[in-house]
Amino acid sequence: MTESVVTIEEIESDIVKVTMQDRVNKNTFSDELVSGVKKAFKMIDSNSEYKVVILTGYDNYFSSGGTKEGLLAIYEGKQKFTKLDIYNLPLDCRIPVISAMQGHGIGGGFIMGLFADFVILSRESVYTANFMKYGFTPGTGATYILEKKLGISLAEEMLLSANNYRGAELEKKGITFPVLPRADVGDYALELARQVAEKPRLSLITLKDHLVRKMRKELPEVIQQEVIMHEKTFFQEEVKERINELFGK
């Protein structure tokens, strides 16, 4: 299957790679990207041979999160971040997912990557939970998955400061993910995928279901709480000003 900005490639009979490459919008959650990623995971779910997914981006970008238009639409009350509904696709996927985050992971794009079963970062790329940069509280499950994957101290730091971090900086802070030169992320992800794919598909599905069952159960309540926080914080005039002034900077 090929979308204009999302491709799905069968690397080997049991390994599939989903590549996000909306070069015009730098892999923000454009309508085309969201539609393409949803279709890709739907197709993967219907396949009975695949054992592992590699999710990646292009060049210097993994995913840049919400679009400026999307954020302003939330401010204007026209939509909620739950409409996107792609950040949790790696979690809900039946088979293991590897986030090969070779490029920048921004906001909801970074969070989507963290919902994978395996996460690989690059030393050169920027990773940020920058929601508060614009003055509104985090969404897309960020308040949940950052603590789960990075620990409470670093999660609070990233969420409250909204700072940018190079992969090399996060490595120094003790994150447990592999952090590699950008050029090596893809090869590492493929080797890892081959190691996973050596196991029986049924066993992989059964074990993943057991390992993430609690997360799948808890996440909807967290999302509801994030929506409630948005209703308190998103409609400040300062938020609109920050989105218009700071988006993309």
| Residues annotated as catalytic (active site), given as ranges | 230
**Which residues partner with 129 through β-bridges?**
none
- Check if the beta carbon of residue 37 is closer than 8 Å to that of residue 24: no
Closest of 153, 130, 50, 54 to residue 94, by C-alpha: 50
- Strands ordered across the beta sheet of 104-106: 61-63, 104-106, 126-128, 165-166
Closest of 143, 118, 89, 92 to residue 197, by C-alpha: 118
User: CA 178, 13, 211 angle in degrees (round to 5)?
Assistant: 45
Integer Cα distance of 160 and 67 in angstroms: 21
Q: Tally DSSP H helices, then E strands, for the chain.
A: 10, 10
Structure tokens at 31: 């309508």
- Check if the beta carbon of residue 185 is closer than 8 Å to that of residue 122: yes
